[in-house]
Structure formats: C-alpha cells, structure tokens
Amino acid sequence: MPIKRHPSAVSRVTPSRRIPSQARAEHTIRAIFEATAQVLNDDGESALTTNRIAARAGVSIGTLYQYFASKEDIVLAMLAREREEVMTTLDTLLANADPDDPDPLKSDPRMLLRAFVQRYIAAFGTGAPGRRALVKLAWRLDNQQAMVQSLREASDRIALHIQRVRLPLVRPPSPVITFVLTRLLAGTVRSASLEDSPLLGTAEFEDELVNACWGVMRVDPS
C-alpha cells in the first residue's frame, strides 16, 4: 500500500488528512515534527512510534492521525518541507546573483555553488545523531516518484535562474546539464547518508562534491 503524505508538505498530492489552514494546525504539525526528531535523537529509530511521537508532542494519538497516517508519513512530510526550504535557499542565492557585484558570494558562480552544496549537505546529510537518523530514514522511505518530481522542479528552477543571470564561466543550462547536476548532488549525498559514510560532513567531501558539480556547470576551458 503506498504511503500517504501530508498535503501541506508535499505538493500535487490529493489530500487525505486535514489541511493545516490555520495557525493552530500549523503549530500542531511543527510540534509533531519536533517530537519525531526528539524521539529519534533520544531513543533511536527502533523506538519511533506514533504513540511516542504524540506523547512527546503533547497531542492525542487521534489528533496526530488527523494529520498523518503513520510515522513514515510524518518523516516524508518532514523531508518534503526540508526540500522546499533548501530550494528557497537556492532561489535566494540565485536571485541575488549579479556578475558585476563586488561581493564574490553574488558574482562568483563557484562560490554560489559552494554555498548551496553546504546547505544541501547540512539538510540531507549531517547533523546530530538524531538528525542523521531522521535523514537516513527519510532517504530510505522516499519513493521514486516524489524524488523524481522534486529533482525535476530543482532542475527547472536552476535553469531559469542561470538563464536570467548569465553568470560568467557557466554553460547555458541545457536539460542534460541540469539533469546530471541535480542527480549528481542528490545521489552522492543520499549514498553517503545511507552508507553512514565517515566522509559526510568533512571538508574533503564538500570540496570534491563542489568540484564535481562545477565540472558539469563550467564552460569548457579549451
């Protein structure tokens, strides 16, 4: 049976639970998210149950089920919200990009790339043990359709921004370039997370991931 996800966090999904249209509902969802992370951090994945999440969040189990069908549903909704926040970071970075600005974080495409890679690794790879457990569980649960959709949206947003700014040394973002770039980034971080790689979070890992992405983006020096 496919896992249902919360409509506030995953777009284009037919809602099957209450839509958080009021501030109180949003507060409840945030409390559930925070409780999920706390249970994972304090007790580990084996202790993660909807009953324990509800108790930690200070809500009844019935209230929790009004918003989420299962603990997996909660984790996937958390991942979807994190993805949107990461894409907002990307939008902000590229919206402020200006090849004539003296600030290298606005004019240097490689520095823009590094800032985004750092944000992506922080969101989907590193953190305290509980945070890593949450991300690892989310990566395992994430279904192929949702991941492909999110990567397509990321590709489209990257392409639009790069076309608008026309940063120096960056190739025009063809469908092939954006496809390879987004899958390279997501696939590498996902693999490192699922494998519990000690490289994840190191400067060397970040450097090589930036180098690999930059190799896809940059104009051929020859």
Count structural domains, the chain. 1
Report if residue 86 sits inside a domain.
yes
Report if residue 199 sits inside a domain.
yes
Report if residue 26 sits inside a domain.
no
pTM, rounded to two decimals = 0.73
CA–CA distances in Å: residue 66 to residues 15, 32, 38: 11, 12, 21
Question: What confidence tens digit (pLDDT) does each residue in 78-116 have?
Answer: 888 888 888 888 888 888 888 888 888 888 888 888 988
Report if residue 13 sits inside a domain.
no
Report if residue 16 sits inside a domain.
no
Structural domain that includes position 179: 79-217
Question: What confidence tens digit (pLDDT) does each residue in 116-143 have?
Answer: 899 888 888 877 666 777 788 878 876 6
Report if residue 39 sits inside a domain.
no
Report if residue 191 sits inside a domain.
yes
CA–CA distances in Å: residue 4 to residues 7, 69, 72, 105, 146: 9, 7, 9, 40, 11
Q: Which residue has the tokens 């930059």?
A: 214
Report if residue 25 sits inside a domain.
no
